[in-house]
Homo-oligomer: A and B are copies of this chain.
Amino acid sequence: MRGFAEAEFVERTARAQALMADHELAALLLTTEPEVRYFTGYLTRFWESPTRPWFLILPANGKPIAVIPSIGADLMGKTWVEDIRTWTSPDLEDDGVTLLGESLREVVPASGRIGLPDGHETHVRMPLADLERLRRELDGCVVAGDSGIIRQLRMVKSAAEIAKIAKACSIADRAFARVPEIAREGVPLEEVFRRFQMLCLEEGADFVPYLAGGAGAGGYDDVISPASETPLQSGDVLMLDTGLIWDGYFCDFDRNWAVSTASDSVTDGHERLIAATEAAFEMAKPGVTASQLHAVMAPFLGEETGAGRLGHGLGMSLTEWPSLIPTDHTPLVDGMVLTLEPGIATAGGVLVHEENIAITETGARWLSTPAAAEISVI
């Protein structure tokens, strides 16, 4: 089912407001796509346009207040939000700042504190000069950080959210299974990228915002580069890593294939990646920390590759909190969705493997269909 029952937003709002009370915040001010969508369900690709700022105010009580460009009023009107205030944007003199300031002052008492997400993995999606102007106009109220409230909430998913991520994963599963239809010796990597996105769409993706990958003899150099025009060659390892979207939720996992033949180094490396992934899967349950998942994978991976980030949260964004790194001691909680993403050096470069899991009361469950230890040959 697309969308969410209204109860989902009621609950998210109530949980946020309880945390706001703990942190003495009179309102939250939200400016980014996932932050606004989290409390409203407002879903559009229109955020791709950087022209207009969008604001959501979460007051201490009651529903969120949308302060948005008039072009979004119709669509916002279809959500559970009732208080929708608009201006004609872009306005070169005052692009919503006065309206936002007035709206904040209605719900924030003099010298009250407004929480704006300001920590890791966040940014403020409005012109900096406008934020400074807002601060001056809010004379008396303080724009502070959000004390990690948004992070804390979004890190733990509802069953309905996990179902959407699982659906995205199942679409990618089917697309990955069809890669032998499009990739073989002689096909340029950029053609593989294009055809793979088409497979994702054909299998049901709404959009494919993220696709990275690589191909090289016995391994690849890099996992973030755009596709080259180089044709696949015998002995290459091909990797495709996709973040496709279904109803606003991402999957994020990859698959590796040996082109025509796999060297011992590749075969062995892939087996160790799967062993690392399975070790983390077996260990993952509430109370275990992100850093412990890192620690259980690292010994499989060698010094350099084992030291990096070996997975992360996943949901409305391609990557979310927590990070599977030695210094992130976030305890896992029932409802978290994580990627397990170990990398390993081979004779030809690196191999990276990735799966998606959900944390349950008693352990973890696979959202992606886990890959076999033996690397597929195409």
A266 to B124, CA, bound (A): 41
Total contacting residues, chain A, CB less than 8 A = 72
CB–CB B45/A209 < 8 A: yes
- Give chain B nearest CB distance to A146 CB in angstroms: 10
* Inter-chain contacts of A198 with B (CB < 8 A): 198, 201-202
Contacts of A195 in B (CB 8 A): 201
Is B75 within 8 A of A44, CB to CB? no
A50 contacts partner chain B, Cβ-Cβ < 8 Å: yes
A259 to chain B, nearest CB (A): 22
Query: Which residues of the partner chain B approach A193 to less than 8 Å between Cβ atoms?
Result: 206
1/0 per residue, CB under 8 A from B, across A175-209: the answer is 00000000000000010011101100110111111
* A175 shortest CB reach to chain B, Å: 12
Assess whether A48 is in contact with B207, with CB atoms less than 8 Å apart.
no
- Asked if B127 and A325 sit within 8 Å, CB to CB, the answer is no
Residue of B with least CB distance to A75: B225
Once the chains bind, are A120 and B92 in contact (CB under 8 Å)? yes
Give how many copies assemble into the complex: 2
- State A34–B242 Cα separation when bound (angstroms): 22
Partner of A50, one of B123, B145, B307: B123
- When distances are taken between beta carbons in the complex, the residues of chain B under 8 Å from A225 are 44, 74-75
Q: Per-residue CB proximity of A26-67 to B under 8 Å, as 1/0?
A: 000000000000000001111011110000000000000000
- From 316 to 337 in chain A, residues with beta carbon under 8 angstroms from any chain B beta carbon are 317-320, 323, 325, 327-328
Question: In this assembly, does A222 line the interface, its C-beta being within 8 Å of a C-beta of chain B?
Answer: yes
> A318 to chain B: which residues have CB within 8 Å?
48-50
Contact across chains for A51 and B312 when beta carbons are under 8 A apart: yes
Whether A44 pairs with B209 at a CB distance below 8 angstroms is no
Give Cα A226 to B245, complex, Å. 12
What's the minimum C-beta distance from A72 to chain B, rounded to whole angstroms? Answer: 7
Whether B116 lies near A127 (C-beta < 8 A) is no
Question: Which single member of B90, B125, B224, B307 contacts A71 (CB below 8 Å)?
Answer: B224
State the CA gap A225–B2 with chains docked (Å): 14
Q: Is residue A109 within 8 Å, beta carbon to beta carbon, of the partner chain? A: no
Which residues of chain B come closer than 8 Å to A145, judged between CB atoms? 128-129
A119 and B126 form a contact (CB under 8 A): no
In A200-233, the 8 Å CB interface with B consists of: 201-202, 204-212, 221-226, 229
State the CA gap A140–B350 with chains docked (Å): 44
Contact with A128, one of B122, B190, B202, B243 (Cβ below 8 angstroms): B122
21 inter-chain pairs at a CB distance below 8 angstroms, sorted by A residue, are A2-B229, A43-B226, A45-B209, A45-B212, A46-B212, A49-B210, A51-B121, A51-B312, A51-B319, A71-B224, A90-B325, A91-B327, A92-B328, A116-B128, A118-B128, A122-B128, A123-B125, A128-B145, A194-B204, A207-B208, A207-B211
Q: Which 4 A-B pairs have the closest CB atoms?
A: A118-B128, A46-B224, A49-B319, A118-B129
Given A49-B210, A197-B201; 20 other pairs, CB 8 A cutoff: A45-B212, A45-B224, A49-B319, A50-B122, A50-B318, A51-B120, A51-B319, A71-B223, A71-B224, A88-B308, A90-B323, A93-B327, A117-B128, A128-B145, A194-B206, A197-B197, A197-B207, A207-B208, A207-B209, A208-B208
